[in-house]
Amino acid sequence: MSGPVLVLGSGLLGASIGLGLRARGIDVVVSDPSPTAQAVAVDIGAGRAFNKAEALAPQLVVVAAPPDVTAQVVADALTGYPSAVVVDIASVKGAILAELQAMDGLPQDSLSRYVGTHPMAGRELSGPAAARGELFNSMPWVLCASEASSAHAVKVAHSLAIDLDAVVFRFTPDEHDGAVALVSHLPQLMSSLVASRLAETPASSLSLAGNGLRDVTRIAASDPSLWVQILGANAPKLLEIMKGVRTDLDRLINTLSAPTAPGARLDLAQLMTEGNEGQSRIPGKHGGPAQQYSWLTVLVDDRPGQIASLLTEIGEIGVNVEDLRMDHSAGLQVGMVEISVLPAKRAGLVEDLMERGWKVVQ
């Protein structure tokens, strides 16, 4: 990309895009109706502040606003910057394209300069203070060109994703919305449903919570105002999947109503096995093939520098840490560091760590 790039909406995603492009030396201008969001984005180095008096001719306008205003902001950008390519990054694609195609007063030939896109990377936080320039590194970025999108516009959208070190996928808007209903929107709903059960739970029960509950509910902390818009805009695709989930839930309720009846255990086993199969199909790191890692748990004293020493020593042993998570033992002054490594590396690593004095839970 040569720039300048104008980012409209300097929240979590807009400021992350700004940071990533600035790190490549690209001139970025950020604009947000919230003066605070814009000022924070400028302060963290995501770009320079939009100035109405400047005659700006951006190569690219990135619309990083909430989904329900995205189509209007795209339309205004297409009109206001007649030589710029305009992309948006909203989490739903079909509804926004349909809104643009039905918009009175928007010359339809301007849609040749528009490409709907969706980086499949985010956080459960919002706002520019949570932005990260590396957010998109090795993550999927979907380009949903419409029939009207020109080859030039698609090329510029592609360059944006590549400059941010993302991995590009090409989907139609309809394919995209079906796919994200399953891989993003259903997990969000399920996470919120499970977490909502905890609202009235006594603190004593919650003190038993381990990583299972934390894994399943991490994204329940997401921004409600954003998700109301996403779920509403993708309701038809989501409904199809939720009806399937309802059938499975009904079956499970029946089975558990008579857990010792003939066939009940087989039914439960089947459900678990189907879950195992689905889980094993989720691609591994960097979009590579699904990879099963082995986990080991190391007990560390709850004092500064322990985790850094552990990771340094694993590096000295010559093993790559694929993933890492922390758990705390209720009431004890120790942390449990769970480390995942390639299965072939686990036994040797356990032995080497124990020789070096680390307490490994076998």
Ligand X SMILES: O=C(O)C(=O)Cc1ccc(O)cc1
Q: Among 120, 117, 119, 99, which residue's Cα sits nearest to residue 108?
A: 99
Decide: 113 and 38 in contact? Cβ < 8 Å.
no
Say how far apart CA 297 and CA 150 lie, in whole Å. 52
Q: Are strands 85-88 and 114-119 parallel, antiparallel or unpaired?
A: parallel
CB of 218 to ligand NAI, least distance (A): 12
The one-character DSSP state at 185 is I
Among 21, 22, 26, 32, interactor with ligand NAI by CB under 6 A: 32
HSE-up of 50 (CA within 13 Å, CB side)? 20
Among 14, 116, 122, 128, interactor with ligand X by CB under 6 A: 122
The listed partner (ligand X, ligand NAI, none) that binds 69, CB under 5 to 8 Å by sort, is ligand NAI
> Which CB, 182 or 342, lies closer to ligand X?
182
CB of 244 to ligand X, least distance (A): 21
Q: Both ends of the chain: CA-CA distance in Å?
A: 51
- Tokens linked to 209: 């919570």
Residue 177 binds to ligand NAI (criterion: CB under 6 A): no
**Binders of ligand NAI: how many residues, by CB under 6 A?**
28
Decide: 11 and 128 in contact? Cβ < 8 Å.
yes
Among 91, 117, 234, 255, interactor with ligand NAI by CB under 6 A: 91
The listed partner (ligand X, ligand NAI, none) that binds 184, CB under 5 to 8 Å by sort, is ligand X
Residue 123 binds to ligand NAI (criterion: CB under 6 A): yes
Quickly tell me which residue has 């909203």 as its tokens: 90
Stretch that binds ligand NAI, among 50-58, 97-105, 118-126, 251-259 (CB under 6 A): 118-126
Say how far apart CA 77 and CA 86 lie, in whole Å. 7
The listed partner (ligand X, ligand NAI, none) that binds 219, CB under 5 to 8 Å by sort, is ligand X
What phi and psi, each to the nearest 5 degrees, are found at residue 125? Answer: -105, 165
> Which CB, 4 or 122, lies closer to ligand NAI?
122
Quickly tell me which residue has 């038993």 as its tokens: 208
Stretch that binds ligand NAI, among 30-38, 50-58, 148-156, 200-208 (CB under 6 A): 30-38
Among 6, 75, 95, 219, interactor with ligand X by CB under 6 A: 219
Among 33, 82, 107, 263, interactor with ligand NAI by CB under 6 A: 33
Q: Please state the separation of Cα 79 from the chain's center in Å.
A: 31
Residue 116 binds to ligand X (criterion: CB under 6 A): no
Using DSSP's 3-state secondary structure scheme, residue 315 falls into: helix
Q: DSSP alpha helices (H): ranges in 24-66?
A: 35-43
Residue 173 binds to ligand X (criterion: CB under 6 A): no
Stretch that binds ligand X, among 69-77, 117-125, 165-173, 200-208 (CB under 6 A): 117-125
Site string for ligand NAI, 225-264 (x = CB under 6 A): -x---x----------------------------------
Residue 119 binds to ligand NAI (criterion: CB under 6 A): yes
85 strand-pairing partners: 60
Among 73, 145, 153, 337, interactor with ligand NAI by CB under 6 A: 73
Decide: 21 and 1 in contact? Cβ < 8 Å.
yes
Backbone φ/ψ region at 123: left (φ over 0), alpha (ψ -120 to 50), beta: beta
**Binders of ligand X: how many residues, by CB under 6 A?**
6
Q: How many CB atoms lie within 10 A of CB 36?
A: 12
The listed partner (ligand NAI, ligand X, none) that binds 8, CB under 5 to 8 Å by sort, is ligand NAI
Dihedral angle of Cα 28, 160, 225, 219, to the nearest 10 degrees: -120
> Which CB, 158 or 176, lies closer to ligand NAI?
176
| Residue 102 Cα distances to 71, 108, 112, 305, 313, angstroms | 10, 9, 15, 58, 60
> Which CB, 93 or 345, lies closer to ligand X?
93
Binding residues (CB under 6 A) for ligand NAI: these are: 8-14, 32-34, 37, 64-67, 69-70, 73, 89-91, 119, 122-123, 126-127, 226, 230
Binding site for ligand X (CB under 6 A): 91, 120-122, 184, 219
